[in-house]
Amino acid sequence: MQISVIPEPKRIIEDGGGAAKAAVIERKIDQKLQEEEYRLRLNKDGISIAGGSERACLYAEATIEQLKVQCPERLPCLTIEDRPSHPWRAFHIDCARHFFPSDELKKMIKMCAHFKMNRFHWHFMDDQGWRIECSRYPLLHQIGAVRKGDHFGCYHSEEIEDRYYTRDEVKEIVSYCESLGIEVVPEVDMPGHATAILAAYPELGCHGKKMEVATRQGIFRDILCCGKEEVFTFIENVLDDLMDLFPSKYFHIGGDEAPKERWKKCPLCQKRMEQEGLANMQQLQGYMENRIAAYLKERGRMAVVWNEAANGGNLDPDTIVQLWIEDKEHMVEYHLAKGGKAILSPVKNCYCDYPYGVTSLETVYQLDDSPGELAEVKDRILGTECLAWTEYIRDAGKLETMCWPRYAASAEVGWCGKERPGYLSFEKRLKALLPLFEAYGIQITEESGWVLPEEEAKRQKEEFQKNFSEESREELKKVQEEI
């Protein structure tokens, strides 16, 4: 019989026509298998699972769950030999712009684990809020979490948002992820997207003036000062605080959208540049990212940054670059040529906060995971990530329908890489697996919305663009020139 599994396994060997016994009779770690590789045998005596690790055994169990959805009465006899093409198959949720309670995060995490994703990039701080309790700098959650209004795009509300995750809640999320084979990659963005930090500790900016947590979207000119030693002390202490919560090997330290206007006028930033023999502001940013990456490295952690952090050309080759701006491959090529590694999450294919009329399910599926420009270094492309920024996502239902089923398509891109069987095959398997979403209590965009007819796609695109006024577009252009 035709079976449907997402992500498509590397090898399915059908074993006659008989029915398999549904009980697991053997579950073992096999050191001969790769860490994420598993072998699953279903026959008339029962089910046996072998995995290269505990996580790989979980993948085998997810596969069994999918088989059971399709053949609840009569499991087919077969063997599946499977392993991922890419080690980085991440999903991202922005909890800074809008807060999602722990129970909702857990639902999302469980569904992602089901599709064999292995990293949760937790974006919990930004200009519009810092949302994790910080023991060393409590004003981060006492002031930095408090946003007096919500004015993203066309939406306006004066309601105060002041929620954050307590340390106990964070620990619970981390251990929940661990139990599902998922590593949490926390992100502290620096030097930009720092308005909530500066609202709590204004002295960390170049001019030290008081400011409020941002209530609007955009790119903000006030960033962390790179000249003041106390900024580095602050970041290091905050990272220590987070390292107590997150055992993860990888820590994201941001680096995107940091306009350099303040640094250009700041005597301390200028002095730092001179002392360190740096040629430009982009190199000054590289200096900051490198110093923090070194701090993490000394503690056994690895830094991940957004692609802008590589613009100065002086980024430590051990730092992983996450490419999100699609035409910037050339900016990371130099980093890759030096032996660096990258994650691909271009806006066009991976940003699931855009409506389906802009980023269809098929577009997510069609991500080129070794684009021409980077083909020569494809072994240094770690994988991919799907993202949900939440400026326009205010509740759990919207979060789920924006992410699902697009996150499942991204999961298959990461797992299958170049060996993806194609969008039509994916869509067919997805339809067979729809009951799973119901079983997990996940709201999913219905089939008619996955790939929209041109007219409807255009309508959605125009509707989305209303979130950006003419002035805000002009302002954005100006600020982008400073990055």
Closer CB to ligand ACM, 241 or 391, in the complex: 391
Rounded to the nearest whole angstrom, what is the least distance from the CB of residue 90 to ligand ACM in the complex? Answer: 13
CA distances from 149 to 145, 155, 215, 257, 468 (A): 12, 10, 6, 23, 18
- Look at residue 464 and give its three-state secondary structure: helix
State the minimum distance, in angstroms, from the CB of residue 219 to Zn ion.
18
**In 71-107, which positions are buried (b, 16+ CB within 10 angstroms) versus exposed (e)?**
eeeebbbbebbbbbbbebbbbbbbbbbbbbebebbbb
* Residue window 210-249: x/- pattern of binding to Zn ion, with contact defined by CB under 5 A: ---------------x-x----------------------
Binding site partner of 206, from Zn ion, ligand ACM, none, Cβ cut-off 5-8 A by kind: Zn ion
Give me the catalytic one of 8, 82, 161, 257.
Answer: 257
d(CA 45, CA 85): 31
Between residues 199 and 343, which has the closer beta carbon with respect to Zn ion? 199
120 contacts ligand ACM (rule: CB under 6 A): no
User: In angstroms, rounded to a whole number, what is the distance separating the alpha carbons of residues 448 and 443?
Assistant: 14
Terminal CA-CA length for the chain: 55
The residue from 8, 36, 126, 183 that is catalytic is 126
Residue 226 or residue 323: which is nearer to ligand ACM going by CB? 323
Lookup result for tokens 């990039």:
121
User: How far apart are alpha carbons 384 and 412 in whole angstroms?
Assistant: 10
**306 is an interface residue for ligand ACM by CB under 6 A:** yes
Compute the distance between CA of residue 441 and CA of residue 323 in angstroms, rounded to an integer: 32
The rounded radius of gyration (Å) of the Cα atoms in the chain is 23
Our answer to whether residue 193 is catalytic in this structure is: yes
CB-nearer residue toward ligand ACM: 84 or 192: 192
Which residues, 6+ apart, have CB-to-CB distance to 375 below 8 Å? none
Residue 194 touching Zn ion (CB under 5 A)? no
Among 190, 266, 292, 444, binds Zn ion (CB under 5 A): 266
Minimum separation from the CB atom of position 256 to ligand ACM (A):
4
List the interface residues with ligand ACM, window 349-388 (CB under 6 A): none
Active site includes 257? yes
Decide if residue 269 touches Zn ion (CB under 5 A): yes
Name which of residues 311 to 330 contact ligand ACM (CB under 6 A).
Answer: 324
Residue 104: partners with Cβ closer than 8 Å, 6 or more residues away: 396, 399
Residue 289 touches ligand ACM, criterion: CB under 6 A: no
Of 344, 255, 243, 342, the C-alpha closest to 299 is 243
The item of Zn ion, ligand ACM, none sharing an interface with residue 225, based on CB under 5 to 8 Å by kind, is Zn ion
Those residues whose C-beta lies under 8 Å from the C-beta of residue 250, and which sit 6 or more positions away, are 119, 183, 185, 301, 302, 303, 304, 320
Q: Given 193, 222, 252, 369, which residue is catalytic? A: 193
The alpha carbon torsion through 148, 151, 152, 157 (nearest 10 deg) reads 90
Return the one option of Zn ion, ligand ACM, none that residue 257 interacts with (CB less than 5 to 8 A, by type).
ligand ACM
Q: Which of 257, 289, 329, 400 binds ligand ACM (CB under 6 A)?
A: 257
Per-residue binding letters, 57-96, with ligand ACM (x by CB under 6 A): ----------------------------------------
User: Rounded to an integer, what distance in angstroms lies between the CA atom of residue 315 and that of residue 334?
Assistant: 10
Q: Which is nearer to Zn ion, 266 or 386 (CB)?
A: 266
Binding site for ligand ACM (CB under 6 A): 256-257, 306, 324
What amino acid positions are annotated as catalytic residues? 126, 193, 257
Q: State the residues that interact with Zn ion by CB under 5 A.
A: 206, 225, 227, 266, 268-269
